Chain A
Amino acid sequence: MVDPDVSQYCLRLGDDALVLAQRLCEWAARSPQLEEDVALMNLALDLLGQSRSLLTLAGAREGAGRDEDDLAFLRDEPDFVNAQLVELENGDFGRTMAKQLLVSAYALPLWQALCGSTDADLAAIAGKAVKEVAYHLDHARSWVVRLGDGTEESHLRMQKGLDEVWPYAFELFESDPLLDRLVARGVAADPAALQPFWRSCVEEVLAEATLSVPSTDWRPSGGRRGTHTESFGYLLAEMQHLHRSHPGVSW
């Protein structure tokens, strides 16, 4: 069933999951302790799984015969429509967890809402994703609290990491004509409706973590239109290089 709007929406969701997974993969064998190596790879695996289902669905609704790998490896930077927040470089473990908290507190109400999507395939993906992101949120929350309310050094690092990624979170709640059409059809979640949960969840975690809510009115944006940060080109170059070096083969 060809449906360009749904295809584009799945691409946004799929790119968010894929790019965040790719960043988490950079932590392999670099994490602060062995338990965390297991946990971070677990998060990456969940997100990779979500991205594969979403990109497959995006390809099916597009109707041009592209599969998950065509979409992941053969699109150029301006064709990626993930939010800029997920592509930001990891930084230290505190900044990685700050980013994970801000994304997961958005992803949980998003997938909860999409469980009721009028697109049955998307609703089925949501049914699985909602359980996964509930764990991701829990994991990020517990680290943000421990680091915020841990030592003096961890508090400073956690606040700095949070301050750095914070402005990028607001792109997640932007609307545009595509979303307006899909919300009207009952396919997509209304991003504005996700913000109250996000705000109260994040503020509660930050209060427990003795961290301040960053105050800035800088709101970088553009990922959904294919405008990305400088570091994103390097992420794609690394991810796509091998696949593109051997066109048309199987792996």
Chain B
Amino acid sequence: MDERRFQQIVDGDGRIEPRDEMPDGYRKTLIRQIAQHAHSEIIGMQPEGNWITRAPSLRRKAILVAKVQDEAGHGLYLYGAAETLGADRDELLDMLHSGRQKYSTIFNYPTVSWADVAAIGWLVDGAAIMNQVPLTRCSSGPYARAMIRVCKEESFHQRQGFEAMTVLANGSPAQRRMAQDALDRWWWPSLRMFGPSDDNSPNSAQSMAWGIKRFSNDELRQRFVDATVPQAEHLGLTVPDPDLRLDAATGHHVFGEIDWTEFFEVMKGNGPCNRQRLERRVTAHEEGAWVREAAAAYASKQAAREVAA
């Protein structure tokens, strides 16, 4: 293939479409990244879905059902985008189920209180948006287009999460305690969502050259901290970082050291919910096998009947 032409398109900020020639490594990297994003969406339904049946008002229940539904929808278009690059959804799901492909480590933390649902919207969706908005301009046409739609919905979720957190932070002492506790537990895992520091992120340089990545992990993390700390202050909540301070000279927040040991442990499978999340996913898939088989059998019977008719 003509790698020069490919690189010219990428360097000129153009889009690589499924029919275009592309290096094998580029195709594989994209499929893996899109699949892992899709896996994160469908595993991400679990921690929030955990509170649907217990949501404290009918309005909050409806908002949460709609959000979990959006996540299933995001999973669908992302698997669809990966399929345009030659992947197969069933194979990608097998890779998830067998642990050969990962999903975001953030979803291996438990949602133990209602405030966790609000914190996920505010922090986790907030961090996801920081990561994903640049992807709307990435070099892959299908991924960029999927991201445009996903980001619109994510920013809606982020606002709803912040609004739910605002109600809790201004509520009863028990609600405020719930809100602070959720921030305490979700803050550091959210910062780790941007991935390892630049000097410890082996694939970043290649992804940048391919136009899949626009900003470094550390740049995006800094942006998130700068945007989120004032929001926490507005809520009257305390960010659980004694080293956090605003550097007047740069206008940026300086924050404490991130515990990467925990990140790599969770990545390896040793987070609080890794086993539970995967098992629930595999169980749903296996328990649904008879339904999918029936749908396929019915479809082929119908096709045969049409041929006979």
Contact = CB atoms under 8 A, between A and B. Distances in A.
A174 interface: no
Contact of B72 (A38, A93, A243, A251): A38
A33 B167 contact: no
Max chain B CB contacts within 10 Å: which of A29, A37, A149?
A29
A92 B287 contact: yes
Contact of A41 (B65, B280, B291): B65
Interface in B67-93: 68-69, 72-73, 75-76, 79
A146 B290 CA distance: 11
Interface stretch (B52-60, B129-137, B181-189, B227-235): B52-60
Interface string A73-98: 10000000000000000001110000
Contacts of B293: 150-151, 153-154
Given A38-B73, A41-B69, A246-B175, A33 B54 contact: no
A: interface residue count bin: 35 or more
B172 interface: yes
B121 to A, nearest CB: 14
Most buried by A among B42, B79, B280, B298: B298
A28 B287 CA distance: 14
A247 to B, nearest CB: 9
A32 interface: yes
Main secondary structure of the interface of B (DSSP, over half): helix
Interface string A191-216: 00000000000000000000000000
A25 B291 contact: no
Given A33-B291, A149-B301, A25 B58 contact: no
Interface string B252-278: 000000000000000000000000000
Contact of A37 (B60, B62, B72, B114): B72
Given A28-B65, A28-B68, A250-B167, A150 B294 contact: yes
Nearest to B277: A29
Contacts of B171: 249-250
Interface string B298-309: 110100000000
A147 B76 CA distance: 23
Interface stretch (A48-56, A114-122, A128-136, A175-183): A48-56
A150 B62 CA distance: 34
B217 to A, nearest CB: 29
Contacts of B294: 146-147, 150-151, 153-154
Contacts, number: 137
Given A41-B69, A251-B60, A238 B291 contact: no
A146 B298 contact: yes
Given A28-B68, A38-B76, A243-B57, A154 B62 contact: no
B288 to A, nearest CB: 3
A160 B135 CA distance: 48
Interface in A198-251: 238-239, 241-243, 246, 249-251
Contacts of A25: 52-53, 61, 65
Q: Which of B79, B164, B290 has the most CB of A within 10 A?
A: B290
A145 B58 CA distance: 33
A149 B298 contact: yes
B49 interface: yes
B155 interface: no
B65 A30 contact: no
Contact of A28 (B52, B56, B172): B52
A145 B69 contact: no
Interface residues of B, number: 47
A104 interface: no
Contacts of A49: 62
Interface string B152-165: 00000000000010
Nearest to B296: A150
B291 A52 contact: no
A29 B49 contact: yes
Interface in B169-183: 171-172, 174-175
Most A-side CB within 10 Å, residue of B56, B292, B297: B56
B116 to A, nearest CB: 12
B46 interface: yes
Contacts of B301: 149
Q: Please list the 6 inter-chain residue pairs (A to B) with the smallest Cβ-Cβ separation, ordered nearest first.
A: A32-B288, A150-B294, A154-B294, A41-B69, A28-B49, A32-B291
Interface of A: 18, 22, 25-26, 28-38, 41-42, 44-45, 48-49, 51-52, 55, 68-69, 72-73, 92-94, 145-147, 149-151, 153-154, 157, 238-239, 241-243, 246, 249-251
15 contacts: A25-B61, A28-B65, A29-B42, A29-B46, A29-B280, A34-B75, A36-B288, A45-B62, A45-B69, A68-B58, A72-B58, A93-B291, A153-B290, A246-B174, A246-B175
Interface of B: 42, 45-46, 49, 52-62, 65-66, 68-69, 72-73, 75-76, 79, 114, 164, 167, 171-172, 174-175, 280-281, 284, 287-295, 297-299, 301
